[in-house]
Amino acid sequence: MKRIGLVTSGGDAPGMNAVIRAVTRVAHSEGLEVLGFEHGWDGLISNRFRMLTPRNVGGILHVGGTILHTSRSPEFRKPEGVRKAADALAVNCVDGLVVVGGDGSMQGALALSKVSDALIVGIPATIDNDVYGTEETVGFDSALNTAIVEIDKIRDTANSHDRIFIVEVMGRMRGFLALTIGLTVGAEVILVPEVEYSLESIVRTLEVNGAKGKKAGIIVVAEGIGDTHKLMREIAKKAAVEVRLSVTGYAQRGGNPTARSRLLANLFGEKAVQLLLNQQGTMMACLENGKVTSIDLKEVCSNEKQLDLSLMKLAQTLAT
Ligand code: F6P
C-alpha cells in the first residue's frame, strides 16, 4: 500500500472535513500518499483529484461541508460509470480508496470493490444516521444539535402564543433524526415513516394536553412522512388550535461539527487507514457498542438499520 484515494460522496455532513484531515494525516504518518478525488464519484469518473498533504488539510477540522466537494452522481449508478471510476484508480496507481458518505455511497463503494483491484473502505458520514452496522454516522450529532437549538427557540414562541408547532426535520425516508430530536426537545408528538400515525391520535394527544393546561406543543415530523403543509391544515381544522409549520431543512446539513462528530471522524479516519494497511478491503469503519471497529460492506449493504422504537415510547412518557 503506497497511495490511497479519498472521496466524499452524497449529501455533505458536518465532520466530513475532519475525516479528510484525519485520513490524510494518519496515512502520511504511515508513509502513504493521498489523492483527494473531487465532486464525489464524478471526480473518479472524470479523473479529477488533488494531492492531499498534512499541511493542505490544515484549518478544516472545525469547518462544515467538504473541501473536496460532493455530488449525487447519476453516471456512477450505471456499470459504465463504475468501470470508469475503477480505471481512474488503476491509472493513478491507487492501492486503496476511502469512501466517505451515507447509505448510497456505501452501495457505490461495494459496487466499485467488485470491479476494482484497489481495496475499498467506507466511512459512514451522513446526517440521517441510516447506515446499517454503525450506531452512529459522522454528522448525525451535529445535525441533532442544530435542530435542537432551533426548536428550543420555537418552543419559546409556542409557549408565548399557546400555539402548536409542526417542525419538519430531514432524514429522507427514515426517522432516526426525527426520533432523537423529538426525544431531546421534549416533543409532544413525534412522527416517523417507520410508525403509522393517525390524525385522530394526534388530535387526542393535543386535547388531553389542553385539558391539563398545556396549550403549546411541538410536533416533530420526519420529512419522510409526506406533506407537512397538509398535516398542518388538518390538525388546525380538527383540533381547532393555532398551528404553524417550520421546516429546518438544509441548515441541518451545514455548520461546524460538534465535538462528537469530530471525534467519530478522527477515529473512523484512523480505522479506515488501518484497514487498508492491513490489506482489508470491502469493509466499513463503524461504531458498535460504543467501540470503533469494522464491518463487511456486503453486510452493510444487504441490511436495513432498525429504529429503536423504545425511544418513541420513552418520548411519549416524558412528554406528559
Ligand atoms: O441524506 C442527507 C439528506 O440531507 C436527507 O436528509 C435529505 O432527504 C436529502 O439529503 C436531500 O438531498 P439533496 O441534497 O439531494 O437535496
Q: What is the pLDDT of residues 21-52, one digit of tens each?
A: 999 999 999 999 999 999 999 999 999 999 99
Q: Determine the residue type at 213.
A: G
Task: List residues near ligand 1 (CB under 6 A).
Answer: 11, 72, 102, 126-128, 170-172, 223, 253
Q: Which residues of 45-60 are buried (b: 16+ CB within 10 A; e: fewer)?
A: beeebeebeeeebeeb
Residue 14 has pLDDT above 90, yes or no: yes
218 burial level (CB within 10 Å; 0-12, 13-18, 19+): buried
User: In sequence order, what are the residues at sequence separation of 6 or more whose Cβ sits closer than 8 angstroms to the Cβ of residue 46?
Assistant: none
Predicted confidence band at 266 (pLDDT cuts at 50, 70, 90)?
very high
How many whole angstroms separate alpha carbon 227 and alpha carbon 202? Answer: 16
User: Which of 95, 103, 128, 141 is labelled catalytic?
Assistant: 128
Q: Does residue 128 have an active-site annotation?
A: yes
User: In sequence order, what are the residues at sequence separation of 6 or more whose Cβ sits closer than 8 angstroms to the Cβ of residue 320?
Assistant: none
Cα 172 to ligand 1 centroid, rounded to whole Å: 6
Residue 123 has pLDDT above 90, yes or no: yes
How many whole angstroms separate alpha carbon 45 and alpha carbon 183? Answer: 42
Q: Determine the residue type at 93.
A: C
pLDDT of residue 295: 98
317 burial level (CB within 10 Å; 0-12, 13-18, 19+): exposed
State residue 118 phi and psi, 5-degree precision.
-70, 150
Q: For residue 44, how far is the Cα from the chain centroid? A: 22
Which atom of ligand 1 approaches the CA of 177 most closely?
6
The mean pLDDT value for 124-152 works out to 98
Comparing CA positions, the residue from 236, 170, 222 lying closest to residue 191 is 222
Cell of 74: 447519476
The mean pLDDT value for 54-71 works out to 98
pLDDT of residue 44: 98
How many whole angstroms separate alpha carbon 307 and alpha carbon 299? Answer: 18
The mean pLDDT value for 260-269 works out to 98
Atom 7 (ligand 1): residue with closest C-alpha?
172
Q: What is the pLDDT of residues 189-242, one digit of tens each?
A: 999 999 999 999 999 999 999 999 999 999 999 999 999 999 999 999 999 999
Atom 15 (ligand 1): residue with closest C-alpha?
11
Q: Where are the alpha helices (DSSP H) in 116-175?
A: 140-161
Residue 320 has pLDDT above 90, yes or no: no
**Contact (CB, 8 A) for 192 and 224:** yes
User: In sequence order, what are the residues at sequence separation of 6 or more whose Cβ sits closer than 8 angstroms to the Cβ of residue 78?
Assistant: none
The mean pLDDT value for 95-120 works out to 98
The mean pLDDT value for 247-270 works out to 97
pTM: 0.97
Q: Which residue has the cell 393517525?
A: 198
State residue 51 phi and psi, 5-degree precision.
-75, 135
Cα 56 to ligand 1 centroid, rounded to whole Å: 29
Provide the greatest CA pair distance for the chain: 70
Q: What mean pLDDT value characterizes the chain?
A: 98
Residue 54 has pLDDT above 90, yes or no: yes
